[in-house]
Structure 1
Amino acid sequence: MHRCGGTGETRDADEEVQKICDEIKSHVEDKAGRTFDVFIAKSYKTQVVAGRNFFIKVHVGGDDFIHLRVYRTLPCYGEKLELNGLLTSKAHHDPIEYFEQNV
C-alpha cells in the first residue's frame, strides 16, 4: 500500500517496468551522453502523485548501474512517460532512494 507522496517498498522489476525502461531508453541515452548496450531494469519503487513516479535501478553493463526517475501520467492523460531524473555511477548495492527532478 502506498501512502500519497511517499515511495513504496523496493520491488523486483517486472515486465511493466522493463517496458517503461525500453520506451524511455533513448531519452536516457541523450541525457547521459552515451549509449547503453545493456539496459535491464533490476528493481524499482513507486510514488503516487498526480500520476506515478517510478524510481528504477537499471543495469547498464559490467558493474555499472543507473537510477531513473520516470513520471507516468494518469490514464485520462494517456499514461505518457517523462524522464524526470537520472543518477549515474551507481552500483548494484546502492539502494533506490527518492531524488528530485534533475533533467
Structure 2
Amino acid sequence: MRAAVDLANWLGKWDKIGLLFLLFDGLLEQIKCVEQCLQWLLRHNAPDYGLAGKRVLVKKKVKPELEGKENKTYPVFEAIKYRSQVVAGTNYFIKVSISDSTNECVHLEVFQGLPPDNQEPSLIDYETGKTKEDPLNYF
C-alpha cells in the first residue's frame, strides 16, 4: 500500500484516476488467483485413491448391483482403467475386465455424492459387449 501512495504522489493529483485503475487491475488479478486456488481445492477435496481405490469400489459396491441387473455372476471383475467427471459429486467411468481368457469388458458409470451427504457409490449406467481396446468414453 505504501508503494501505491508513493506512486500517487509521484503521478500528481491529476492522474489519481489512472492509479485507481492500476489498483483495480491488481485486485482483479488477486481475485483470479483466489478463484484458481478454490477450483484446485474443489477438485482435490475428496481423496482419490487412483485405480486401486476404484478396484475396491467396483468389487464391493458396484459388482453386486451389475450382477443383479444383468442376472448373472462375474467370476472375474477387475477394474483396469477409469476416468472421472466432477458434477454435484463425481461420475466415474470405469472399464472392468470380466474374463481372464478373453478381452471382454464392461464399461460402468458410477456416481458418488459429495462427502457431507456420505452417499454410497451407485451404478448409474453400464455398457456390455466391450473389449479392452475400446475407448473409455463418457456415456
Distance 2:138 2:107 in 1: 10
Could you state the TM-score of these two structures normalised by the residue count of structure 1?
0.80
5+ residue gaps, structure 2, are: 1-38, 40-49
What is residue 55 of structure 2 aligned with on the other side? 18
- Within-5 A mapping of 1:1-103: 14-22=51-59, 23-61=61-99, 62-99=102-139
Deviations 1:11-65 (A, max 9, x none): xx62111011012110011112211000000001000000000000000002210
Secondary structure at the counterpart of residue 44 of structure 1: strand
* Runs of 4+ off more than 6 Å: none
Give 3-state SS (helix, strand or coil) of 2:127's partner. Answer: strand
Query: AA paired with 2:107?
Result: H
Q: Identity over the aligned pairs, expressed in percent?
A: 34
Query: Which residue does 2:34 correspond to in 1?
Result: none
Q: Report which of the two structures shows the higher radius of gyration computed on alpha carbons.
A: 2
Separation in 1 of the partners of 2:73 and 2:96?
13
CA distance in structure 2 between the aligned counterparts of 1:35 and 1:49, rounded to whole angstroms: 31
Name whichever structure is richer in strand by fraction: 1
CA drift at 1:85: 0.5
- TM-score normalised per structure 2: 0.60
RMSD, aligned CA: 1.4
- Measure the CA separation in 2 of the matches of 1:68 and 1:31: 12
For CA contacts below 8 A with separation 6 or more, give which structure has more relative contact order: 1
Gaps of 5+ in 1: 3-12
Q: What letter matches 1:43 in structure 2?
A: K
Cα separation, 1, equivalents of 2:71 and 2:105: 15
